[in-house]
Amino acid sequence: MAILADSNTRLIVQGITGGEGSFHTQQMVEYAPETIVGGVTPGKGGEWVHGKPVFDTVEAAVDATGANASVIFVPGRFAADAIYEAVDAGIGLIVCITEHIPVHDMMRVYDYIKDTDSRLVGPNCPGLLTPGQAKIGIMPGYIATPGYVGVVSKSGTLTYEVVYALTNEGMGQTTCIGIGGDPIIGTNFVDVLQMFEDDPQTEKVVLIGEIGGRAEVDAADFIKANMTKPVAAFIAGKSAPEGTRMGHAGAIVEGGEGTAAEKIEALEEAGVRVASNPEEIPALLK
């Protein structure tokens, strides 16, 4: 068992012929060849990339391959359109890696998708990895190993750091998922925590958050009220000054809200063990 993606996933890559799309398609194909069924780049239909067929539209790709998931690598200003196309083609799981998507585009996407059967993960996220079964996005495959820990994070590379530390300590993972660091994202901490709570194979959960917004406080409320599985956490940005955006569009402390301190307090209050160094996480789960 795992959440969102496993060996039965049939994935297409939107933007498969671009530099990053092609590079990461290769990595995904090497990791789990059977799960990648094709790709889409308008105008490049009929070509092949890393042994996978390219289509002009998502609809054509779905018709030909029975795809049920899509990963998006197209540039920021075309990304919203790529998400709409995937939703309209009936794709169930849409993972958007693209960063720098305008907030107004995402507000419309968020509204459009909520009344459909599609789930969006991201944007501006590393995607997800179900070790040994499926890799959707850009997480390096070798850092993870199958096991019983579920990992959910706002970050990209910080997630790798923690997953790598878990693997080195012999603690494998069910699924590792990066939900993205933008202000408006398709899947939030609470959605994923519920999935891990419901997944019989996941025994423990790691949550990696950062400054800005109140998603971690909402997660703490959810954990307190609904979770039976132990959770460990790390919150990045303790040393960040107020009023300055730390890279991610969402990572900013405004009007004294969204500080690392208030998030850590809320999580500890909910019984979560919070690490001061991400490499301490495995020890906190033992």
Partner 1 sequence: MNLHEYQSKLRFAEYGIPILRGKTATTPDAAYEIANELGGTVVVKAQVLVGGRGKAGGVKLAKSADEAKQHAEAILGMNIKGLTVRRVLIDPAADIAKEIYLGITNDRAAGRAVMMASSEGGVEIEVVARENPQALIRVHIDPFLGLRDYQARTLAIGIGLPREHWRAFGKIAHSLYECYVGNDALLAEINPLVITGDNELLALDGKMSIDDNALDRHPDIAEMRDTDAEAAAETEARKAGLSYVKLDGQIGCMVNGAGLAMATMDITKLYGGDEVGPANFLDIGGGAKAETVAAALRIILADPNVKSVLFNIFGGITRGDEVARGILQALDEVKTDVPMVIRLVGTNAEEGRAIIDSANIANLSSAASLTEAAKKAVELAKGAM
Q: How far is the CB of 137 from partner 1 (least distance, A)?
A: 8
154 binds partner 1 (CB under 8 A): yes
Q: How far is the CB of 62 from partner 1 (least distance, A)?
A: 25
Q: How far apart are the first and last CA of the chain?
A: 22
Rounded to an integer, what is the distance from CA 176 to the centroid of its chain? 8
How many residues bind partner 1 (CB under 8 A)? The answer is 68
Among 20, 47, 169, 197, binds partner 1 (CB under 8 A): 20
The stretch near partner 1 (CB under 8 A) out of 36-44, 177-185, 197-205, 262-270 is: 177-185
Binding residues for partner 1 restricted to 27-46, rule: CB under 8 A: 27
Q: How far is the CB of 193 from partner 1 (least distance, A)?
A: 16
Give the C-alpha distances (Å, rounded to integers) separating 42 from 47, 74, 147, 216, 259.
11, 11, 39, 39, 43
Q: How far is the CB of 114 from partner 1 (least distance, A)?
A: 8
Q: How far is the CB of 73 from partner 1 (least distance, A)?
A: 10
**Cβ nearer to partner 1, comparing 58 with 144:** 144
**Cβ nearer to partner 1, comparing 62 with 162:** 162
**Cβ nearer to partner 1, comparing 199 with 216:** 216
The stretch near partner 1 (CB under 8 A) out of 60-68, 88-96, 144-152, 273-281 is: 273-281
**Cβ nearer to partner 1, comparing 34 with 114:** 114
Return the HEC string of the chain: CCCCCCCCCCEEEECCCCHHHHHHHHHHHHHCHHHEEEEECCCCCCCEECCEEEECCHHHHHHHHCCCEEEECCCHHHHHHHHHHHHHCCCCEEEECCCCCCHHHHHHHHHHHCCCCCEEECCCCCEEEECCCEEEECCCHHHCCEEEEEEEECCCHHHHHHHHHHHHCCCCEEEEEECCCCCCCCCCHHHHHHHHHHCCCCCEEEEEEECCCCHHHHHHHHHHHHCCCCEEEEEECCCCCCCCCCCCCCCCCECCECCHHHHHHHHHHCCCEECCCHHHHHHHHC
Q: Mark residues 99-138: x for contact with partner 1 by CB under 8 A, - for none.
A: xxxxxxxxxx-xxx-x-----------x-----------x
Binding residues for partner 1 restricted to 197-256, rule: CB under 8 A: 208, 210-211, 213-215, 218, 234, 236-241, 244-251, 254-256
d(CA 153, CA 28): 20
Structure tokens at 159: 């997630």
Among 170, 228, 277, 286, binds partner 1 (CB under 8 A): 277
24 classed as catalytic: no
Q: Name the residues that contact partner 1, by CB under 8 A.
A: 19-20, 24, 27, 76-77, 99-108, 110-112, 114, 126, 138-140, 143, 153-161, 164, 181, 183-184, 208, 210-211, 213-215, 218, 234, 236-241, 244-251, 254-256, 260, 276-279
Q: Could you list the active site residues?
A: 248
